[in-house]
Amino acid sequence: DGLVSNFGLVYGVAGGTSNPELIPLAGAAGLLAGAFSMAAGEYVSMRADRDLAEFRVEKERRELEAFPKEEEEELSLLYRMKGMTKEEADALAARVMENKEVALDTMMREELGLNPKELGSPWGAAITSFLLFSLGAIVPVIPYFFAVNTTAFVSSGLMTSVALLVVGGFLAYMSRKSPIRGALRMLLIGLLAAALTYGIGRIIGVALE
C-alpha cells in the first residue's frame, strides 16, 4: 500500500507543480499521513475484534458457572458431531467439565471457534502496519533526499519499480504462484498508478497556471 500510494503521490505532485521542492515534502507528508492512518485503522479493527471476542468469552464463562449441566450436554453434542459415540462424548465432556479453566478453553475452541492464544494485539498490529507502510512509502522519496531534479525523478521511478518487482514476486512465491507473473503484475499496477497521477497532476497544474 505504502509503496504504490506514495509512488503515485510523488509522481502526481511532480507532474502538477513547477516547484520541485514540494515533491519531497509531499512524499514525506504522504508517508506519515498514510502510516498513521493505516496504524489507526488497524488498531481500531483489531480492538473491535478483540473486544467482541472477550465479550463472547466472558459470556461463555458466565454460562459455564450458571448452567454447567447444559454446557456439558452442549459439549457432548459437539463431540458427537465429530464422530464420537454418545458414551464417548459424554465421558469426555464430563472429564473436561471437571476443570473450569479447561472447560472454558475447550468451549472457546469448540463452540466459539476462538484460539485464546491468537486473539491478537491491537498495539502490535498498529505498530506493524505503521512500519510496513512506512517501509514501502519511503522508497519513492529517497532520491529526493539527495537532490531535487530530473535525476531524482528518474531514480525514484527506477527504485520503486525494483521494489515493486521484489514485493510482487515475493508475494506470489508465498502464495505458490508464479513469481515472475506476480512481479510483473505488481510493477504494472504501480506504474499505471504513477502514470495516471502524473497525468492528472499535469492537467491540474496547467489549469492552475
pLDDT of residue 207: 55
pLDDT, one tens digit per residue, over 37-79 is: 999 999 999 899 888 888 888 888 898 888 888 888 888 888 8
Residue 49 CA to residue 163 CA, distance in Å, equals 33
Classify each residue of 162-196 as buried b or exposed e, where b means 16 or more C-beta atoms within 10 Å of its C-beta.
ebbbebbbeebeeeeeebeebbbbbbeebbebbee
Alpha carbon distances (Å) from 198 to 10, 95, 123: 8, 67, 36
In tens, the pLDDT along 109-138 reads 877 777 766 777 889 999 999 999 999 999
Q: What are the grid coordinates assigned to 190, written together?
A: 504501480
How confident is the model at residue 151, as a pLDDT? 92
- pTM of the predicted protein model: 0.77
Residue 173 has pLDDT above 90, yes or no: yes
